[in-house]
Structure 1
Amino acid sequence: MSHLFYNYEFARSLWRAFCEGFDVQWKPYMDMPTLIAWWKQTAKSLHFKKVWISGFSLVPSVIWQERNARIFEGVSKSSRHCFVMIKSEISLQMTAAIGSPLSFSSSMCAKRLGISRVRYKPREVMEICWCPPQRGWVKLNSDGCSLGNPGKAGAGGIFRNENSEILQFFRTFLGVHTNFEAEMIAVITRLEFARDMGITHLWIECGSVAVVLLISKGRIPWVCLQKWMSLTSYLNSLTWKITHCMREANPVADFLAKTAAKFEVSSPIQSWPVLIAIELEVDC
């Protein structure tokens, strides 16, 4: 296999030409496992990854054909001519799909390699909405924030029923905590409010994947463990679930948490700001 990569000047010049098309310096004289690892690692930083990966089989194929032609047929082509053949093959087979407009350097790369068909992946637009709970349930949207991580932290939460009506909302200044701690404390303190409100069917939505996973598995960090243990009997009597939601579906709780942290307050909102009022109306 070494003659396909290193052993004579024709092979080395063809590899150099292919790599230079990507503005990558060819590194000869590596053993095969190291070369494969380097090739895969380099692909991660390139715009046209599929073209680069395909080169690992395409270039040796051209080298092998040229070697056989020179030995058995007595004819030869220059490395420059063979590189044109490689570019033609790339142009025929490769349609490079990318998610963003090409930079100047990437456009030059496409030109050097003969990538003539470059198309852009259309951006996927996804509408994210808050959804009311099923009949007989109450949904709690909870959020926590830390200004500094760690820094001044706040927790916010809002309870709404199946008709999107606000049953209760809260904001609490927590002192100094990390974002994760604020998110976890926000959920657990809101569970205490749910207990006091006598809620029997509760759907909790939280913006932190880590918090959702830990609570689902009952793996509560020490900072909240005592409060969690005090809620055990209530949780056992409760029909409940916890799920993750995108930030776009949680703007009200996010507002409550941020204002609690920013202004160091735990008092309720007297009147909703216009943008939050619009969000509540859209949710309805």
Structure 2
Amino acid sequence: MESVRYYWHEGEWNVPRILRIIPMPLAQTICQIPIAAGQGDRIVWTKSSTGDFSTKSAWEAIRQASPRRQLLADVWHRSLRPTISVFLWRLFQDRIPVDARMQQKGFSFPSKCQCCEAEETVSHLFIKSAAVQGVWQHFAAIFGLCLCDTGSLTHIVHFWPYSTPFHSDLHIRTLIPFLILWFTWTQWNAAKYRGVPFSTDSIILEVQRHLRTLYAARTLTSTQWKGDLHQAAVMGFIFRQQVPRAPSIVRWQVPSPSWFKLNTDGSSIGNPGLAGAAGIIRDSAGHVHLAYQFTLGTGTSVLAELTVVCRGMELALTHGLAPLVVEVDATTVISLLQSRASGKWEVQHMIMRIVCLQRLLVADVQHVFREANGAADHLAKEAASLQLTRVLHHDDITGSPPRHSLP
């Protein structure tokens, strides 16, 4: 059996050899697969970013995912201890072994709350009991909230986060209800099995102590208190006011004498979506030597950005526009090129080609702010929306029709 390399010649698929064994429709599909020069043949698992098989990617490919629920995403936040996260997940799935729950499973015994004569249920333990109501009212008063006694755990844990327009990463109005629920549970266990008094003050104290621990460890940040910095001060948490950054002037800079500069940009209408890309090459006097636009069909922004860099460097090599500075406003692309990382399997061949062109053009790839990349950005958006594919030289740009088209 021949290897894939046998059907490849000078960087391209050897179509005549392919047609000897495969019919034309299938051969056309094969020829659309890019080749990563310098790498051995290997089987690619398309469901993972690296091309390697993993049970995780296989599971993600076949499972039926439910809609994302922000509440459950917050439960597994990194600033919560795993013990707390597991408890909250079990609580919201009605898996907490309160007396009423155990009776539903067939256990027969009397049920009595640790602070009153009521039956021990999830609703009573975490919402309705006198001791816990005092905890909710204490923290609600600090944040100026008026809690309605609905008896619904779901209602109260949704009410707190949506009482503020700021939805930062685990905002304090999401964190505090979680901590109230957790320390209500720990204090209930202490009362039931160790005889420790179950009281409002003990739960409030534990919540405050935990917040101070997070604050001391610098895992409780001012971002989580956005809109509530006054309440933070009331509770004894002082955060430095962020000094506004002074604005900086951003403009396109000409390259050094005898150098050329390539500015590129890729644009996709949606991600993935209909993609277009463009670039413009100028000299040290700011004169445009050529510009180009092309469409990519449907693809991701990273693929569009890498493709436009590669096309621009190939055009620079063809027209002798070297040495070359390449400016890209996509930090992901810069990281891939500067670290020589392999990236996703779909773009490995593109990265290797760009690295090769860098050596030939003595090219330096740099990051540029989007505000200084306006010309390339405009051309890329125009290419995506109007489906343009063309190369423009200096005389084309000044008014005459374009003379060249990309293959």
**TM-score normalised by L of structure 1:** 0.57
Question: What is the aligned partner in structure 2 of residue 136 from structure 1?
Answer: 258
CA-based RMSD of the aligned residues comes to 4.1
TM-aligned CA deviation for residue 128 of structure 1: 1.0
Structure that is richer in helix per residue: 1
Question: Is the CA contact 2:306–2:350 (under 8 Å) kept in the aligned structure 1?
Answer: no
For 1:106 and 1:127, the matched residues in 2 are separated by 32
- 1:37-186 aligned within 5 A: 39-40=213-214, 43=221, 44-47=223-226, 109=231, 121-186=243-308
Question: Is the CA contact 1:146–1:261 (under 8 Å) kept in the aligned structure 2?
Answer: yes
Range that drifts further, 164-173 or 237-246: 237-246
For 1:17 and 1:114, the matched residues in 2 are separated by 15
Q: For 1:164-204, what per-residue CA distance to the aligned partner results, in whole angstroms no more than 9, with x for missing partners?
A: 11111111111111111111111111111111111221000
Question: Is the CA contact 2:267–2:275 (under 8 Å) kept in the aligned structure 1?
Answer: yes
For 2:276 and 2:380, the matched residues in 1 are separated by 5
Identity of aligned residues (%): 27
Question: What is the aligned partner in structure 1 of residue 367 from structure 2?
Answer: 244
SS in structure 2 at match of 1:134: coil
SS in structure 1 at match of 2:225: coil
Question: What is the aligned partner in structure 2 of residue 216 from structure 1?
Answer: 338
Question: Is the CA contact 1:188–1:224 (under 8 Å) kept in the aligned structure 2?
Answer: no
TM-aligned CA deviation for residue 264 of structure 1: 0.9
For 1:241 and 1:180, the matched residues in 2 are separated by 19
In the alignment, residue 155 of structure 1 is paired with which amino acid?
A
Higher relative contact order (CA 8 A, sep 6+): 1
Task: Say if 1:151 and 1:231 are closer, same or farther in 2 by CA, change over 3 A.
Answer: closer
In the alignment, residue 335 of structure 2 is paired with which amino acid?
L
Structure that is richer in strand per residue: 1
SS in structure 2 at match of 1:127: coil
For 2:293 and 2:139, the matched residues in 1 are separated by 60
- Residue ranges of structure 1 left out of the alignment (5+ in a row): 1-12, 48-102, 273-284
In the alignment, is residue 265 of structure 1 matched against residue 359 of structure 2?
A: no
Question: Is the CA contact 1:155–1:172 (under 8 Å) kept in the aligned structure 2?
Answer: yes
SS in structure 2 at match of 1:170: strand
Question: Is the CA contact 1:206–1:212 (under 8 Å) kept in the aligned structure 2?
Answer: yes
In the alignment, residue 373 of structure 2 is paired with which amino acid?
N
Task: Say if 1:183 and 1:119 are closer, same or farther in 2 by CA, change over 3 A.
Answer: closer
- Residue ranges of structure 2 left out of the alignment (5+ in a row): 1-133, 145-175, 188-205, 399-407
Q: For 1:119-166, what per-residue CA distance to the aligned partner results, in whole angstroms no more than 9, with x for missing partners?
A: 773452122111111111100001001111111101110001111111
SS in structure 2 at match of 1:265: coil
For 1:237 and 1:193, the matched residues in 2 are separated by 12
TM-aligned CA deviation for residue 218 of structure 1: 2.9
In the alignment, residue 46 of structure 1 is paired with which amino acid?
W
Question: Is the CA contact 1:144–1:156 (under 8 Å) kept in the aligned structure 2?
Answer: yes
Task: Say if 1:178 and 1:121 are closer, same or farther in 2 by CA, change over 3 A.
Answer: same
Question: Is the CA contact 2:317–2:361 (under 8 Å) kept in the aligned structure 1?
Answer: no
Find 2:378's aligned residue among 251, 255, 258.
Answer: 255
Question: Is the CA contact 2:273–2:300 (under 8 Å) kept in the aligned structure 1?
Answer: yes
Find 2:309's aligned residue among 187, 200, 205.
Answer: 187
In the alignment, is residue 206 of structure 1 matched against residue 317 of structure 2?
A: no
For 1:205 and 1:240, the matched residues in 2 are separated by 10
